[in-house]
Structure 1
Amino acid sequence: MMENDLALSDQGSDAGSEEVLTPAELINKLEEAWLNEKFAPELLESKSEIIECVMEQLNHMEQNLQRARAGDLKISFHHMEIERIRYMLSSYLRSRLIKIEKFFPHVLEKEKTRGEGEPPCLSPEEFAFAKEYTANTETLLKSVALRHMPPNLQAVDLVKLVPKPNLDSFVFLKVKEHQENILVEPESDEQSEYAIDMEVGSQHLIRYRTIAPLVASGAVNLI
């Protein structure tokens, strides 16, 4: 019940180019985005197009189920697949919402300083939510400061007040594209920086900061 191919615009190619995906490939991309977002310590690039295509595909699958004959044994399996996709989708969106609430000033600062051509970290809806959350937090903190703090301590700097994502945390990953000479930072002052090669299919436990660009490019997946 997943017959229609879907097209995603390819941001890494020439303007107007599209990547045509089968439904199975689309769901694989959703799963990769979900796991990467779940295990990355920072908010990753928004995958709005994938989310929109998955929701379109879910509607298509549900319409097919409504037309299926009663008693068809395949119906229960398709219901299970729909629920699996819905779970990944909701978990992905929930993970992003939690990070936005936890790191909102840093997320907005990163979005404001994003270079030309860089993909956005926030969807338009997430950006609106982050701005509203920031405004409400500032209002609350300023009202508390006015009542309980001396005038010279009433200024609120959320970027300094709210902790940043811990990019030095360690993550598990699986390699999709062969990588050579990946510089690894030492874990103590007694060690020196060294380089490693990562073969396709190999798994590693490594500091997130080291491989963050590879996660962004899709060369590795977090697991």
Structure 2
Amino acid sequence: MEIANAPSARTDAGALSRIDAFVFDLDGTLLNTLPDLVALTNAVLRECGFPERTTAEILSFVGNGVKALMYQAVPADADEEAVEGAMDRWKELYPQYGHKLTKAYPGIPETVAELKRRGAKLAVLSNKFDAGVQDVIGTYLPGLFSVAHGERADIPRKPDPAGLLRTIAELGSVPERTAYVGDSTGDVAVARNAGTLAVAATWGYHDVERLRAAAPDLLIDAPGDLVGLME
């Protein structure tokens, strides 16, 4: 575990020992959903008569919800109606492709279970559409989180802090006692905006040096590092 930002009041031993809540990003942090996202997105593109995208391209589109994903995946000259149609079809096909290839990252189930055993308050906040969040959490990490939110009308996309602040309140904690754990610079930004500890996970989708440049409070290489925050 690396203190990636300049030492601060958030990262002194006393502050870290007071962490009692962990809110997690989903895709790229808890679960590797990329193979399914690639398969589903390319199925929609083929059906709509658009060229397929590479895994690297689709990875670069991930993180800001389905709408942003499809707007970037379709050709730049596609009209609004075509984009909306592709997005609707993506959601229609999700139950078919949803998470057949998805896997929890090594150490995630054990770490989350141990945090829960130690009394941590646990939640998920993702830019994935809400039904998809409920689906994969219920399948791969059932019974571990008290609160799980994805994007919907009353939960704005990160880095808007409103969803994170609501999640923390629902857990019965406060930002100063909460760690937000994610694999992207947007996750660092939402933690900053909400006033939580910003924990960047290096095992996910995003470049480690870009994460370090975003100045999270902590940079961790393994899920088990989180348990140390409760010791």
What range is the shorter-chain TM-score in?
A: under 0.3
Higher RCO structure, 1 or 2 (CA under 8 Å, sep 6+): 2
TM-score, normalization by structure 1: 0.25
